[in-house]
A and B are shown apart, each in its own frame.
Chain A
C-alpha cells in the first residue's frame, strides 16, 4: 500500500473519519517537524503570531487543554481558556450562541471539548473560525488518535501491518474511535478487547477484530493500548465491577510477561493504576505513556498550524518507511 501525502485544505479537524490517509499523514509529517521545535532550547516559532485561539472546554479536561494551550503558545498564538462554568452555557445560552460570541471577539481557532457527539462538527459547519475537536462525547478525539499513531510510527518505524490491541471501555470511548479510524486507514490491524457489553459486535463493521479475552492478544500484539475504565454509576449495567474487570482484562505483571518482545504499552490517561494496568507495568519496559504526552504537543502544533492555513512546513522530512512497502 503506497500512502501518498495529500495537502491539508481544511479549516477544521472534527473527526478522523472525515479525512483521507494522505491528509492525515501530512499532519503526522508536520508533527515530526514540529517535534524538533519542542526539543530546542527556544521552544517557540512565530507561525501563528497575531492569531487568537480559544480553548472552549465544556467538559472538564486538564491534560488535553494544557497540551493545546502549550501548542498554541509555542506557535506564538494568543490563548484564552473558557470552561463550562465560566461560560454563559450555565445561564441557558446555546452552544451556538456562545461560539458565535467567541467568533465575534475574533477568535481564529476554537478548540472544543463537549459531551455531545457531533458538537465540533455542528460548530464547524456554522462558524468561519477553525474548529478543532478536542473530544466530542463518545464520537472522536482526533488529536489523541493522531498522537497515538505518531507514537507508534516513531517507536516502531511504521504503522502499516502493525498489530494494535485496544483494551477496555470501547463503547463509550472517543479515543478508541479515533484510533480505529486512523490506524485502519494507515493499514494497521486493530483488535478491540473487552467484555461484549463494552465491545459490541457492531464494531466489526469498522474493519476491526474483536476479542473478549485479553490473553488472546498478548502474544501477537505489537502495541497494546489500554483505555481508562470509568467508575461512574451508569457503567454498572455493563460489567459487574472493577475487580472482575481487572481479573479478566487488566494488564497485570503476569500478563505483561506474555507480551511479545518490544510490544508498546500505551494509555491515553488518566490511568487507574491497579485497574486496567498494574503500576509497575505502567512504569516499566515498553511503556510509552509519557512519550504519548510529549508527542501530543507536536501533533497539536501541527493541527493548529495546518488548520490555520499553514503551508507545508519547510522542515518536513517525510517518513519514508511506510510509503515503500507493498
Chain B
C-alpha cells in the first residue's frame, strides 16, 4: 500500500471542527491533508462513518511486570480491533510507573511493539502508596500525560492537595480513582440489596462520593483540573453536575460496564462481574447516563483490565478486580447510549471518545484537522455482531460480555496513516 490514502465517500464526523458531512478524507505521509495525493490507495467508506482515531484514556497493559495478563503488544491489538488509535496506560504496573526510568521503558516498549499510540501516566505518589509525592517534575519531563494512582486512591488529603498544587506548574492534569478506603474497607461488590443477599462484603457508593466531593473541593481550591475516573455512583454524578455548573475544573469519565450491568448480575458469583469500582444499581446507571447526556461526564473509557484465567478462577473475594474492555467498549456505548436509550447523538458519542479526552490530556490528536496525525477510525454504528472472547487478541479472557449481541463496531483502524487493523483482513503485520 502507498503511504497515502483516499478515504472515499464516508460520513466524516469530526466534532473538534464541527464537521458532520459526506466527504472524502485524504492522508499523506502520516498526516491529514486537504487534497487528494497522487497515487493514494482508495478505501471505500460509503455508508460508513469516518471519525478521528478513538482515544481511550484508561487502560491497563500490564507491562512491565505482569506480562502473563497482557503486554503492550497484545493490549495495543485489542485497542486496534476496538477502533482505538490512542490509549493512555495506568501506572499500576510492577514496578509502578513512578520513575522516569519506568516511563522510558514503557515508551520504548511501545515504540517497538505497539500498533497504536501509547501514552503513559505517572503515579501521584511513590509506589502508589499514597504517602510520598512521586518525582512529578521528572515524570513530566519524561512525557507522562497525566498523574494518577489508579487502582488505589490517595487517602491522605494533605498529600493529594500538595500533589495537585505541585502538578499545576507542569500543566499535568491529575486523575483519581475515587475510593475512600475506610468506607470501602474489604468490600468486593456494591453495598446494597445484593451484597446483603450474597453475604459478600460491600463497597458502598458513599466511598466514591466522599472522594469525588474531596476532589471537587481540591480542584476548586487549587484551580487545577482533577479528573474523576470510572464514575459508578448516582450521587457522584450529582455532585459533579453541581460543581461543573459553578465552573470548577473537574471532569469525569464513564465505563461501559457501569452502564451495562448491575450488582444483581453477581448472583452466580461469577468473577467476570467483579470490578473496581463495583457494578451498582439501575438507579446509578440511569444517573450516569443522564450525566453523559447533559455534559456532566465528558469522557468515555474502558478501564481495560486483563487478568489471567487462573487468577480469576478462584473464590469470589480472592479474585482480582477488573475486566477486558477495549473490544467491547465502542459497541456497548453504541448499543446502550445510541440504540437503546437514545441518550446521545452519534457526534456527541464520538466527541467523548476523541476531542474531549484529547483536550483533557493536551494530546495533539482526536481531530481530522489538516496537519493532524492521520489517526482515523472507520466504523458502522449499526453493524450487528456477537462478541466471542476466544477471538480476542488479549492474553486474557476475563469478560462478562462473551456471547453478547451488540450493534456497532469499528471496521478499520488507521494509525499514523497506516491501516493497522480492519474487520475483513484482521491485523496488518
**CB–CB A117/B268 < 8 A:** no
Within 114-142 of A, Cβ neighbours of B (below 8 Å) are at: 114, 116-119, 121-122, 125, 136-140
The interface stretch among A73-81, A202-210, A241-249, A264-272 is A202-210
Q: How many interface residues does A have (CB within 8 Å)? A: 24
Within 178-218 of A, Cβ neighbours of B (below 8 Å) are at: 200, 202-203, 205-206
| Cα-based distance from A122 to B270 in the complex (angstroms) | 8
| Cα-based distance from A241 to B197 in the complex (angstroms) | 26
**CB–CB A117/B200 < 8 A:** yes
- Interface flag for B193 (CB, 8 Å): yes
- Interface flag for B137 (CB, 8 Å): no
**CB–CB A119/B193 < 8 A:** no
Within 166-210 of B, Cβ neighbours of A (below 8 Å) are at: 191-193, 195-200
- Interface flag for B424 (CB, 8 Å): no
**CB–CB A116/B192 < 8 A:** no
The interface stretch among B72-80, B313-321, B399-407 is B313-321
Q: Which residues of B contact A94 (CB under 8 A)?
A: 310, 313-314
Q: Mark A287-312, 1 if CB is under 8 A from B, else 0.
A: 00000000000000000000000000
**CB–CB B315/A122 < 8 A:** yes
- Interface flag for B269 (CB, 8 Å): yes
| Cα-based distance from A118 to B188 in the complex (angstroms) | 12
**CB–CB A117/B316 < 8 A:** yes
**CB–CB B192/A202 < 8 A:** yes
- Interface flag for A17 (CB, 8 Å): yes
Instruction: Pick the contact of A138: B192, B199, B269 (CB < 8 A).
Output: B199
> Whose C-beta in chain B lies nearest to the C-beta of A141?
B199
Q: Is the interface of B mostly helix, strand, loop or mixed?
A: helix
| Cα-based distance from A278 to B316 in the complex (angstroms) | 38
> Whose C-beta in chain B lies nearest to the C-beta of A203?
B196
Instruction: Pick the contact of B196: A119, A140, A205 (CB < 8 A).
Output: A205
> Whose C-beta in chain A lies nearest to the C-beta of B318?
A116
**CB–CB B192/A118 < 8 A:** no
**CB–CB A117/B193 < 8 A:** no
* Most-contacted residue by chain A among B195, B314, B315 (CB, 10 A): B315
> Whose C-beta in chain B lies nearest to the C-beta of A114?
B315
Nearest Cβ distance between residue B427 and chain A, in whole angstroms?
34
Instruction: Pick the contact of B200: A17, A118, A206 (CB < 8 A).
Output: A118
**CB–CB A139/B315 < 8 A:** no
> Whose C-beta in chain B lies nearest to the C-beta of A15?
B198
**CB–CB B199/A206 < 8 A:** no
| Cα-based distance from A116 to B200 in the complex (angstroms) | 8
* Inter-chain contact total with CB atoms closer than 8 Å: 58
Q: Which residues of A contact B314 (CB under 8 A)?
A: 94-96
Q: Mark B42-67, 1 if CB is under 8 A from A, else 0.
A: 00000000000000000000000000
Q: Which residues of B contact A138 (CB under 8 A)?
A: 199-200
Q: A121-B269, A122-B316 are in contact. Are A139 and B196 (CB under 8 A)?
A: no
Q: Which residues of A contact B200 (CB under 8 A)?
A: 117-118, 137-139
- Interface flag for A163 (CB, 8 Å): no
**CB–CB A177/B197 < 8 A:** yes
| Cα-based distance from A138 to B197 in the complex (angstroms) | 9
Nearest Cβ distance between residue B182 and chain A, in whole angstroms?
9
> Whose C-beta in chain A lies nearest to the C-beta of B197?
A206
* Most-contacted residue by chain B among A94, A116, A174 (CB, 10 A): A116
**CB–CB A117/B196 < 8 A:** no
**CB–CB B269/A122 < 8 A:** yes
**CB–CB A96/B269 < 8 A:** no
| Cα-based distance from A214 to B268 in the complex (angstroms) | 34
Q: A202-B193, A205-B193 are in contact. Are A140 and B313 (CB under 8 A)?
A: no
**CB–CB A206/B196 < 8 A:** yes
**CB–CB A116/B313 < 8 A:** no
> Whose C-beta in chain A lies nearest to the C-beta of B317?
A116
Nearest Cβ distance between residue A173 and chain B, in whole angstroms?
8
Nearest Cβ distance between residue A205 and chain B, in whole angstroms?
4
Instruction: Pick the contact of B198: A95, A118, A200, A205 (CB < 8 A).
Output: A118
Nearest Cβ distance between residue A208 and chain B, in whole angstroms?
11
**CB–CB B315/A119 < 8 A:** yes
| Cα-based distance from A121 to B268 in the complex (angstroms) | 8
> Whose C-beta in chain B lies nearest to the C-beta of A200?
B196
Q: Which residues of A contact B318 (CB under 8 A)?
A: 116
Nearest Cβ distance between residue A43 and chain B, in whole angstroms?
34
> Whose C-beta in chain A lies nearest to the C-beta of B315?
A116
| Cα-based distance from A122 to B315 in the complex (angstroms) | 7
| Cα-based distance from A205 to B191 in the complex (angstroms) | 13
| Cα-based distance from A95 to B191 in the complex (angstroms) | 26
**CB–CB B199/A140 < 8 A:** yes
Q: Mark B134-171, 1 if CB is under 8 A from A, else 0.
A: 00000000000000000000000000000000000000
**CB–CB B198/A96 < 8 A:** no
**CB–CB B196/A202 < 8 A:** yes
Q: Which residues of B contact A203 (CB under 8 A)?
A: 196
Q: A122-B269, A122-B316, A139-B198 are in contact. List 5 more A-B contacts (CB 8 A).
A: A94-B313, A118-B200, A121-B268, A125-B268, A202-B191
Q: Which residues of B contact A (CB under 8 A)?
A: 191-193, 195-200, 268-269, 310, 313-318
**Could you jot down 9 A-B contacts, CB within 8 Å?**
A114-B315, A116-B315, A118-B269, A137-B317, A138-B199, A202-B191, A205-B193, A205-B196, A205-B197
Chain A to chain B: the 9 pairs with minimum beta-carbon distance, closest first: A118-B269, A138-B199, A139-B199, A116-B315, A202-B196, A205-B193, A117-B199, A118-B316, A119-B315
